[in-house]
A and B are shown apart, each in its own frame.
Chain A
Amino acid sequence: MTATGIEISGLRHAIRGTEILAPATLTIPAGRITALIGPNGAGKSTLSRLIARIEPPPAGTVAVNGLDVATTRTGRLARELAFLGQHTTLASRLRVRELVAFGRWPHCHGRPGPEDHAAVARALDDFDLAPLAGRFLDTLSGGQAQRAHLAMAVAQQTPWLILDEPLNNLDLAHARALMAHLARLRDAGGSILVVLHDLNFAAAWADHVVAMKAGHVVAEGPPEAVLTEDRLSALYDTEIRVGTHGGRPLVLHHL
């Protein structure tokens, strides 16, 4: 399978007549970290959920590495893309290791082999979860639970990783560790689409930035082209200054 990126064409979504996503046509490049940014209600989560076929098949088409998400079997897609949404509460009572092991389902269908156990152990290590592996999820803090869910998505070992606000609840050390981990995955040939609220994480780690506002894609390109004072001020309807640090934009949105 050639990694051709995510081709989105004419994709739109409406809930009871309210347009959440205007017809969108864009390509999310393979082998890159793409950050999806924009104010609340811009349609970022909707777009990521539509790509990951969590919402029902929409108008328009989405193809992930050439696989149409509306017609490809969901089991096949689970080996092409892993998705982590914002809802991380669970109805069932699980240990951390058991949750992460579910990430291997698309490969082993409930009968894990040695490589599945190895992948789970590696994902637990990558997210500092080894000491917590035997704990029940409902005994963990929000950030620890978020890391367990991230480990599950990573254990799925798919060419594409789609994360909706993965930095939720993470402390700054683990937030940076996550972005560094995503960068390692990219260097190993992986492709990542990540919805980010903190613009500086996008500025520092992303290769490609897609900016959305009110259901429209308003800008896309490399961070230094999208994360400019004019564009960001228009995007968030508030004055935002942008400096530079280490050759990358530094967004001074808190000043």
Chain B
Amino acid sequence: MRPRTALVVALLLALAVALWLFQGLGPGNRPFVLGLRATKLAALALVAASVGMATVLFQTVAQNRILTPAIMGFDALYLLIQSLAVATLGTVGFAMLPAGAKFAAETLLMTAVAVALFGALLGRAAPEAIGRTILTGVVLGILFRSGATLIARMLDPNAHAVVQAASFADFGRPAAGTLGWAAAVALPAMALALALGPRLDLLALGRERAVSLGLPHRAMVLVTLALVALLTAVSTALVGPVAFFGLIVAGLAHALAPGARHRVLLLTAAALAATLLIGGQWAFERLLGLRATLSVVIEFAGGIFFLALLLKGRIR
């Protein structure tokens, strides 16, 4: 990545943050407004960095540039687990759970299931078996989503509303109660991903070369998948599932920093994601007065980007 590109990315991010914090700040209760804005800014930045990094990590494990955790059903798995929790505990029981414990339990359960399922799928798959990997992942995603829907249908309307609210992306929602817990999970996960950067570069060479160069390949795949699951749990818990956002961000990061090392790639993806999300949410909240939803636009643009990748034949 050229220094100038890095500078532009950093400046755009700074601009988005500044706009978010200081634009239209009236003479009234400034500390209160700033505090409110800063909390939401932290939540958006955390979600953005989580989605961006999770996607880059997953694409490296899967050896594929069009797969994302969302397409493979990671977030659907989180929703399924949440629906199951509502179904077994009831709305009141669900609401009574302390936010931190609930989040921790859901995240741990999801990580365990994701690592078991996708570890079996990706740990052994040869590079030529990528078609099978994609197909299995997409089918698993549908399975999780259908499972969540099925449970939602069996619930009484009140419980259904609770599940429903969690099933659609809403960037205006960041749940303040879980923000601290989410940060406690996401920040160490991101730090570990960056620390593993050089090993991720090796992982990206494929199993044969990675093993030959002395990387404990299977362990590395499982650790990376666990990081993907943790980061996806964080973003889904905070704003709900975002299908194509990660794809846009990872695609842009790869385009801006061709052949870059993973440390650069992860940071670029996180910065781009934060810029898009903060800038986009600012535009929709303050300029358009919430007349449209950012998630819809992002999904729309992401869908087109996904098709463009498919048509360019970049299924590698």
Query: Which of A's residues lie within 8 Å of B, judged by CB?
Result: 52-54, 73-79, 82-85, 87, 89-95, 98, 102-103, 105-106, 109-110, 136, 152-153, 156
5 contacts between A and B (CB under 8 A): A76-B214, A102-B205, A105-B198, A106-B213, A156-B213
Q: Determine whether the beta carbon of A90 is less than 8 Å from that of B205.
A: yes
Instruction: Tell me the B196-252 residues at the A interface (CB within 8 Å).
Output: 198-199, 201-202, 204-209, 211-217
With an 8 A cutoff between CB atoms, is B180 at the interface?
Answer: no
**Proximity bits, B32-68, A CB within 8 Å = 1, else 0:** 0000000000000000000000000000100111000
**Proximity bits, B161-177, A CB within 8 Å = 1, else 0:** 00000000000000000
| Chain A residue with the shortest CB-CB distance to B259 | A93
**Proximity bits, B247-266, A CB within 8 Å = 1, else 0:** 00000001000110000000
Q: Determine whether the beta carbon of A105 is less than 8 Å from that of B213.
A: yes
| Contact flag A91-B206 (CB < 8 Å), given A102-B213, A106-B213 | yes
Complex CA–CA separation, A194 to B11 (angstroms): 53
| Contact flag A136-B208 (CB < 8 Å), given A78-B214, A102-B213, A105-B214 | no
Give the one of B60, B65, B201, B254 with max A CB within 10 A: B201
Question: B259 to chain A: which residues have CB within 8 Å?
Answer: 92-95, 98, 136
Q: Determine whether the beta carbon of B206 is less than 8 Å from that of A83.
A: no
Complex CA–CA separation, A82 to B214 (angstroms): 9
Q: Determine whether the beta carbon of B214 is less than 8 Å from that of A75.
A: yes
Smallest CB–CB gap between B205 and chain A, Å? Answer: 6
With an 8 A cutoff between CB atoms, is B153 at the interface?
Answer: no
Q: Determine whether the beta carbon of A75 is less than 8 Å from that of B216.
A: yes
Given contacts A83-B212, A93-B254, A103-B213, 4 further A-B contacts (CB under 8 A): A54-B207, A74-B211, A93-B258, A105-B215
With an 8 A cutoff between CB atoms, is B147 at the interface?
Answer: no
| Chain A residue with the shortest CB-CB distance to B265 | A92
With an 8 A cutoff between CB atoms, is B30 at the interface?
Answer: no
Q: Determine whether the beta carbon of A109 is less than 8 Å from that of B212.
A: no
Question: A95 to chain B: which residues have CB within 8 Å?
Answer: 259
Complex CA–CA separation, A181 to B240 (angstroms): 58
Q: Determine whether the beta carbon of B205 is less than 8 Å from that of A74.
A: no
Complex CA–CA separation, A221 to B216 (angstroms): 35
Question: A52 to chain B: which residues have CB within 8 Å?
Answer: 211-212
Q: Which of A74, A91, A152 contacts B63 (CB 8 A)?
A: A91
Complex CA–CA separation, A52 to B316 (angstroms): 26
Q: Determine whether the beta carbon of B63 is less than 8 Å from that of A54.
A: no
Question: B216 to chain A: which residues have CB within 8 Å?
Answer: 73-75
Complex CA–CA separation, A166 to B202 (angstroms): 22
Complex CA–CA separation, A48 to B205 (angstroms): 20
| Contact flag A105-B127 (CB < 8 Å), given A53-B211, A54-B212, A74-B215 | no
Q: Which of A91, A93, A153 contacts B64 (CB 8 A)?
A: A91
Complex CA–CA separation, A136 to B260 (angstroms): 12
**Proximity bits, B181-205, A CB within 8 Å = 1, else 0:** 0000000000000000011011011
Complex CA–CA separation, A93 to B214 (angstroms): 21
Question: A92 to chain B: which residues have CB within 8 Å?
Answer: 60, 201, 204-205, 259
Complex CA–CA separation, A93 to B59 (angstroms): 13
Smallest CB–CB gap between B109 and chain A, Å? Answer: 29
Complex CA–CA separation, A82 to B213 (angstroms): 7
Question: B206 to chain A: which residues have CB within 8 Å?
Answer: 87, 90-91
Smallest CB–CB gap between B309 and chain A, Å? Answer: 14
Question: B201 to chain A: which residues have CB within 8 Å?
Answer: 92, 102, 110
Question: B63 to chain A: which residues have CB within 8 Å?
Answer: 91
Q: Determine whether the beta carbon of A82 is less than 8 Å from that of B127.
A: no
Question: A76 to chain B: which residues have CB within 8 Å?
Answer: 214
Question: A85 to chain B: which residues have CB within 8 Å?
Answer: 208, 212
Complex CA–CA separation, A96 to B288 (angstroms): 49
Smallest CB–CB gap between B23 and chain A, Å? Answer: 38
Smallest CB–CB gap between A119 and chain B, Å? Answer: 14
Complex CA–CA separation, A94 to B205 (angstroms): 10
Question: B207 to chain A: which residues have CB within 8 Å?
Answer: 54
Complex CA–CA separation, A53 to B215 (angstroms): 12
| Chain B residue with the shortest CB-CB distance to A49 | B208
Question: B208 to chain A: which residues have CB within 8 Å?
Answer: 54, 83, 85, 87
Question: A73 to chain B: which residues have CB within 8 Å?
Answer: 216
Complex CA–CA separation, A76 to B215 (angstroms): 10
Question: B198 to chain A: which residues have CB within 8 Å?
Answer: 105, 109-110
Question: A105 to chain B: which residues have CB within 8 Å?
Answer: 198, 202, 213-215
| Chain A residue with the shortest CB-CB distance to B124 | A56
Closest 9 CB pairs of A and B: A78-B214, A110-B198, A75-B214, A91-B63, A92-B204, A83-B212, A93-B259, A106-B214, A105-B213
Give the one of B205, B206, B208 with max A CB within 10 A: B208
Instruction: Tell me the B105-145 residues at the A interface (CB within 8 Å).
Output: 127
Complex CA–CA separation, A109 to B196 (angstroms): 11
Question: A98 to chain B: which residues have CB within 8 Å?
Answer: 259
| Chain B residue with the shortest CB-CB distance to A136 | B259
